[in-house]
Structure 1
Amino acid sequence: MSSIAFSILWRASSIENVEAPPIDDDKTVDLAVIGGGFTGLSAALEAARRGASVCVLEAGTFGHGGSGRNVGLVNAGLWLPPDTIVGELGETAARKLIDMLGAGPGEVFALIERENIACEPTRKGTLHLAHSPAGLKDLEERFRQGNRHGAPLSLLDRSETARRTGSNAFEGALFDPRAGTIQPLSYCRGLARAASAKGAALHEHSPVAAIRRESDMWVVEALGKSVRARNLLMATNAYHRDINAPYTPAFIPFNYCQFATAPLPEKAREKILAGGEGCWDTAMVMSSIRLDAAGRMIVGGVGSMEHAGKGFHQAWARRKLRGLYPELGDIPFEHGWSGRIAMTGDHIPKIVAFGPNAYAIFGYSGRGIAPGTVFGRTAAAALLDTAPELLPLSPVSGHQERFTAAKAAYYEAGATFVHSLARRF
């Protein structure tokens, strides 16, 4: 089987764009943002809408990191079941986080409509698919917990799941009508365009070298220029680069790869995910399926296309597609790529207040679109208004993770081993 060249579908199909030249002068602003992904650009847009002066510094291009390599599932809440969040945070803090992130997809789709972002928005819900009887039991418990905490979830039986997915491979599914899918890079670039239109200064190819505190201001250095800011947001997440700074985000890097086919034949599109839902499953080595607006099937799974095991991941994706949809077994993959996820040990995002009027936000553990949008918007409001109570989570003074490199290697090795099994899909 021929190897797929590393090629990100979202870059090929994105409509949205924005001009953001490298920084070439010194600035003084109300808010400096480091990182041009969902969180940073959501914060920039909110601050600019409030009339604040904003400067965004992105080391690469907007959406270069996880935001532009995302599956594109706009899910409600975190990956964790609600009761687990309560156990980690306590009832009051957990309820606030669950409620704000439960409303997250609604915020994303309302923002898309308000700013007229061309990102293939499809709010038809998502399906969490039971890959086995044990997976179905997990979904039954998530259904009970979710409904108890106010989520409008539905538990689907095998026949209804087969009707919606067009595959007989699943034991059942959990349907969340709040959720949906988007073209993630277009959404990210659309946030940038909207922020720029409201006055934010945006700069790509402007890697930050150092951050320091001078008197009552933050000073951010990039390309030999200085940005003085009253407030600072570090929103680099899994793509943080070396910066001489008071704090470095601590997380476990976790890779996820995706493979996109040529557009499906019309007859297949009438049967396969005809309702427009995006899907992921209950397997320990998780996988996902969805269609884009052109009808491409996108198969995703744990693993990196930038490591030695990429051939195993590609072969697995072909077996996965044939196992789910035998009629698609020979349709070619036209794109293959991977992205890095910032995972925390407890799978709960972190807001670290690493100095006066400064936050580092990271660790969405694979749930970046709606949480990133919500955390970014509220971070801008909290910093500008000196009101941390507006945040979904209370800030902490620091966060560390142990053995991050070893854990990252373990996850990649595990995914490669599972994907190397000839009969496994």
Structure 2
Amino acid sequence: MLNDPRSHGLWEKTAPPAPVTSSLIGDVTADVAIVGGGFTGLSAALHLAEAGRKAVVLEATEVGFGGAGRNVGLINGGMWVMPNDLPGVLGPTYGERVLELLGGAPLVVRQLIEKHAIACELETNGTLHCAVGDDGLKELEERHRQWKARGAPVELLSAEETAARIGSTGYSGALYDRRAGTLQPLAYVRGLAHAALAAGAGLHTGSPVEGYEKTGSGWRVRTPGGSVTAQWILVATDAYSTGPFSSVRTEQIHLPYFNFATRPLGDNLSRSVLPGREGCWDTKEILSSFRMDQAGRLVFGSVGALRNTGYAVHKAWAKRAMKRLFPQLGDIEFESEWYGKIGMTADAVPRFHRFAERVVGFSGYNGRGIAPGTVFGQTLARHILGDIAEADLPLPVTDPKDQSFRAVKEAWYEAGAQVAHFAGERF
């Protein structure tokens, strides 16, 4: 997008076209003005439109321009935080609510894809959280215990079982989550946009929100070319927030994340590398993730930005890491490369904000955008429709709070990833 091959990489090359849209010109009225055309905003628009409400989405750039179109494509249940830790962070009521909602979120994604015939390379064979060493295995044993206590369909695999599923002996075990899966994220978010339009929602790209003000009993949301007057404003901008909702951005630390994609591996290699097409990530602090796309490309990623000196460092590291995990691949060449930003909150837990009366939004997905973004958008729609009271939402109301030393921390993480990857996988 914007003539930058490192913004969306493989996903832009292989996704079906986005719907034809235009910038907002003139003044329109709606029931809900939605700021942001990613998973949350478009899921909310779709559910509102299906309920007969007029929703208008205002996207600053293009559908899926932010994290929705750049991530690795894992449909996960839950968050990074251990299941038993969420009630400790949020309190028992909200902690259990959000666990129940997010535990079932992958199923909601599958149902939407099936209902609206979204072509997005959906794979439903689960995910593998891969243990690195004894410490990694202990972490997964505890995650397994906590999820099983809640009835989740998870299974702890031995090193041998893990090797059979992955095609690599590099891990000491894995947590297999049957709820989860993978998809082509840009194709999915574009599919949500098509479905929302078909249901009657409005969608304007190239329409950054410059401000909003009270007008009578509602709100007027301004863009360079026009405005939307609505009873509600739904804020769905997350880590890429700018303008009047930039506080959503400044309460998060940006963690850069990159992906490289090989050429299609061919039938022989595809049978030995992830034959079941599970999505994978490991337990390292600077983690790696990998999965196959529908054409047999291996997508491999980690923390870091593909810019300046980071480009060469991370690319060389990725080749070394993949060669160690999958020596059967031989000389590795990449077809696509891209990176984006993960927004991390201070406690790795999402937020619900009420910026003003009837101006609300969820944010802070901490690298878990696909399933949480989809169900949080659905939840916001139900709240606006009156089906869920604010007191019954899965997260409490909080005010945005800037993280201290944010710029310093972000520079440190980007540089630290380069240092780690420069030295990593050399022996």
Shorter-chain TM range is over 0.9
Match of 1:405 in 2: 407
Matches within 5 A, 1:268-417: 268-385=269-386, 387-389=389-391, 391-417=393-419
Deviation at 1:398, TM superposition (A): 3.6
Matches within 5 A, 1:17-166: 17-166=18-167
Residue 8 of structure 1 aligns to a residue in which SS? helix
**Cα distance in 1 between the residues matched to 2:165 and 2:83:** 26
**Cα distance in 1 between the residues matched to 2:418 and 2:151:** 38
Mark the CA change 1:217 to 1:414 in structure 2 (over 3 Å): closer, same or farther: same
Residue 298 of structure 2 aligns to a residue in which SS? strand
**Cα distance in 1 between the residues matched to 2:16 and 2:28:** 30
**Bigger Cα displacement from structure 2, 5-14 vs 220-229:** 5-14
Match of 2:254 in 1: 253
Residue 169 of structure 2 aligns to a residue in which SS? coil
Deviation at 1:391, TM superposition (A): 2.9
**Cα distance in 1 between the residues matched to 2:279 and 2:52:** 37
Match of 1:173 in 2: 174
Percent identical: 46
TM norm structure 2? 0.95
Question: Does the 8 Å contact 1:381/1:390 carry over to 2?
Answer: no
Match of 1:225 in 2: 226
Question: Does the 8 Å contact 2:24/2:225 carry over to 1?
Answer: no
Structure 2, unmatched stretches of 5+, are: none
**Cα distance in 2 between the residues matched to 1:216 and 1:79:** 40
Question: Does the 8 Å contact 2:24/2:227 carry over to 1?
Answer: no
Question: Does the 8 Å contact 1:33/1:40 carry over to 2?
Answer: yes
Residue 127 of structure 1 aligns to a residue in which SS? strand
Mark the CA change 1:380 to 1:390 in structure 2 (over 3 Å): closer, same or farther: farther
Residue 283 of structure 1 aligns to a residue in which SS? coil
State the AA in 2 paired with 1:120.
E
Deviation at 1:79, TM superposition (A): 1.0
Post-superposition CA distance 1:277-300 (Å, at most 9, x none): 000000000110100000000001
**Bigger Cα displacement from structure 2, 376-385 vs 102-111:** 376-385
State the AA in 2 paired with 1:174.
L
Residue 259 of structure 1 aligns to a residue in which SS? strand
Question: Does the 8 Å contact 1:40/1:376 carry over to 2?
Answer: yes
Post-superposition CA distance 1:57-111 (Å, at most 9, x none): 1111000110000110000011111111121112221111001100000000000
Deviation at 1:387, TM superposition (A): 2.3
**Cα distance in 2 between the residues matched to 1:307 and 1:214:** 47
Match of 1:191 in 2: 192
State the AA in 1 paired with 2:355.
F
Mark the CA change 1:270 to 1:248 in structure 2 (over 3 Å): closer, same or farther: closer
Question: Does the 8 Å contact 1:318/1:329 carry over to 2?
Answer: no
Residue 253 of structure 1 aligns to a residue in which SS? strand
**Cα distance in 1 between the residues matched to 2:338 and 2:400:** 33
Deviation at 1:133, TM superposition (A): 1.4
**Cα distance in 2 between the residues matched to 1:397 and 1:336:** 37
Question: Does the 8 Å contact 1:211/1:246 carry over to 2?
Answer: no
**Cα distance in 2 between the residues matched to 1:356 and 1:401:** 25
**Cα distance in 1 between the residues matched to 2:259 and 2:247:** 32
State the AA in 2 paired with 1:393.
L
State the AA in 1 paired with 2:148.
N
**Bigger Cα displacement from structure 2, 249-258 vs 387-396:** 387-396
**Cα distance in 1 between the residues matched to 2:123 and 2:246:** 41
Residue 210 of structure 2 aligns to a residue in which SS? strand
**Bigger Cα displacement from structure 2, 255-264 vs 9-18:** 9-18
Residue 263 of structure 1 aligns to a residue in which SS? coil
Question: Does the 8 Å contact 1:358/1:383 carry over to 2?
Answer: no
State the AA in 1 paired with 2:415.
A
- Give the count of matched residue pairs: 421
Mark the CA change 1:306 to 1:211 in structure 2 (over 3 Å): closer, same or farther: farther
**Cα distance in 2 between the residues matched to 1:330 and 1:389:** 56
Question: Does the 8 Å contact 1:32/1:55 carry over to 2?
Answer: yes
State the AA in 1 paired with 2:419.
F
Q: Structure 1 runs of 4+ off > 3 angstroms?
A: 244-249, 397-400, 422-425
Residue 365 of structure 1 aligns to a residue in which SS? coil
Structure 1, unmatched stretches of 5+, are: none
Question: Does the 8 Å contact 1:36/1:61 carry over to 2?
Answer: yes
Deviation at 1:47, TM superposition (A): 0.7
User: What RMSD in Å do the two structures reach over aligned CA positions?
Assistant: 1.7
**Cα distance in 1 between the residues matched to 2:37 and 2:16:** 17
Match of 1:235 in 2: 236
**Bigger Cα displacement from structure 2, 339-348 vs 6-15:** 6-15
State the AA in 2 paired with 1:369.
I
Question: Does the 8 Å contact 2:354/2:399 carry over to 1?
Answer: yes
**Cα distance in 1 between the residues matched to 2:245 and 2:407:** 21
State the AA in 2 paired with 1:198.
A
Question: Does the 8 Å contact 2:247/2:401 carry over to 1?
Answer: no
**Cα distance in 2 between the residues matched to 1:94 and 1:424:** 42
**Cα distance in 1 between the residues matched to 2:393 and 2:176:** 28
State the AA in 2 paired with 1:405.
A
